[in-house]
Amino acid sequence: MGDSNRIVIIGGGAAGMSAATAARKVDPHCGITVCERGSAVAYAHCGLPYFISGIVKDHRELFVYPFEHFRDDLDIDVLLHTEATALDHGRRTVTVRSVRDGAVHDLRYDSLVIATGACPVTPSYAEFGFANLFTFRTMDDALRLSDYLSRRSPGKALVIGGGLVGVLMAEAFALRGMDTVIIEMRDALLPEFEEEIAGKAEEVLRTKGISVFTGLSASGFDCENGIIRGVRAGRYLFEADLVLCASGIRPETLLLGEYAGKSGALETDDRMATPVRGVYACGDCTTAYHTTAGRRLYRPLGTTANRQGRVAGENAAGRYSIFSGIAGTQALKLFELEMARTGLSGEEAKQAGIRTVDATAVSPSVATYIPGSHPITTKVTVEAGSGRVVGAQMAGCGEVAKRIDVFVSIIQNGMRVGDALNLDLSYTPRCSPIWDPVLYCLKEVHKKLNR
Q: In this structure, what CATH number is given to the domain that contains residue 198?
A: 3.50.50.60
Instruction: Provide the pLDDT for residue 405.
Output: 98
Report pLDDT digits (tens) over 209-222: 999 999 999 999 99
The answer as to whether 325 is a domain residue is no
The answer as to whether 257 is a domain residue is yes
Q: Which residues in the chain show pLDDT less than 70?
A: 1-3
Q: What is the CATH number of the domain that holds 440?
A: 3.30.390.30
Task: Work out the number of other CB atoms within 10 angstroms of the CB of residue 214.
Answer: 15
The answer as to whether 50 is a domain residue is no
The answer as to whether 331 is a domain residue is no
- The reply to whether 259 and 304 lie within a common domain is yes
Phi-psi region of 46 (alpha: psi -120 to 50; beta: other; left: phi over 0): alpha
Q: For residue 80, what are the domain limits?
A: 6-41+56-118+250-316
Task: Examine the fold and report which residue of 285, 316, 347 is the final residue of a domain before the chain moves on.
Answer: 316
| Structural domain count of the chain | 3
- The reply to whether 256 and 114 lie within a common domain is yes
Instruction: Provide the pLDDT for residue 1.
Output: 41
Q: What is the 3-state secondary structure (H, E, C) of the chain?
A: CCCCCEEEEECCCHHHHHHHHHHHHHCCCCEEEEECCCCCCCECHHHHHHHHHCCCCCHHHHECCCHHHHHHHCCCEEECCEEEEEEECCCCEEEEEECCCCCEEEEECCEEEECCCEEECCCHHHCCCCCCEECCCCHHHHHHHHHHHHHHCCCEEEEECCCHHHHHHHHHHHHCCCEEEEEECCCCCCCCCCHHHHHHHHHHHHHCCCEEEECCCEEEEEEECCEEEEEEECCEEEECCEEEECCCEEECCHHHHHHECCCCCECCCCCCECCCCCEEECHHHECEEECCCCEEECCCCHHHHHHHHHHHHHHHCCCCCCCCCECCCEEEEECCEEEEEEECCHHHHHHCCCCEEEEEEEEECCCCCCCCCCEEEEEEEEECCCCEEEEEEEEECCCHHHHHHHHHHHHHCCCEHHHHCCCCCCCCCCCCCCCCHHHHHHHHHHHHHCC
- The reply to whether 259 and 302 lie within a common domain is yes
- The reply to whether 165 and 197 lie within a common domain is yes
Task: Examine the fold and report which residue of 212, 247, 282 is the final residue of a domain before the chain moves on.
Answer: 247
The answer as to whether 328 is a domain residue is no
285 is catalytic: no
Instruction: Provide the pLDDT for residue 450.
Output: 87
- The reply to whether 357 and 408 lie within a common domain is yes
The answer as to whether 70 is a domain residue is yes
- The reply to whether 184 and 301 lie within a common domain is no
Instruction: Provide the pLDDT for residue 3.
Output: 52
- The reply to whether 98 and 151 lie within a common domain is no
- The reply to whether 270 and 297 lie within a common domain is yes
- The reply to whether 379 and 233 lie within a common domain is no
The answer as to whether 327 is a domain residue is no
Task: Examine the fold and report which residue of 247, 273, 306 is the final residue of a domain before the chain moves on.
Answer: 247
Instruction: Provide the pLDDT for residue 377.
Output: 98
Which of 35, 46, 119, 397 is flagged as catalytic? 46
- The reply to whether 444 and 353 lie within a common domain is yes
The answer as to whether 324 is a domain residue is no
Report pLDDT digits (tens) over 16-66: 999 999 999 999 999 999 999 999 999 999 999 999 999 999 999 999 999
- The reply to whether 343 and 312 lie within a common domain is no
- The reply to whether 156 and 223 lie within a common domain is yes
Instruction: Provide the pLDDT for residue 2.
Output: 44
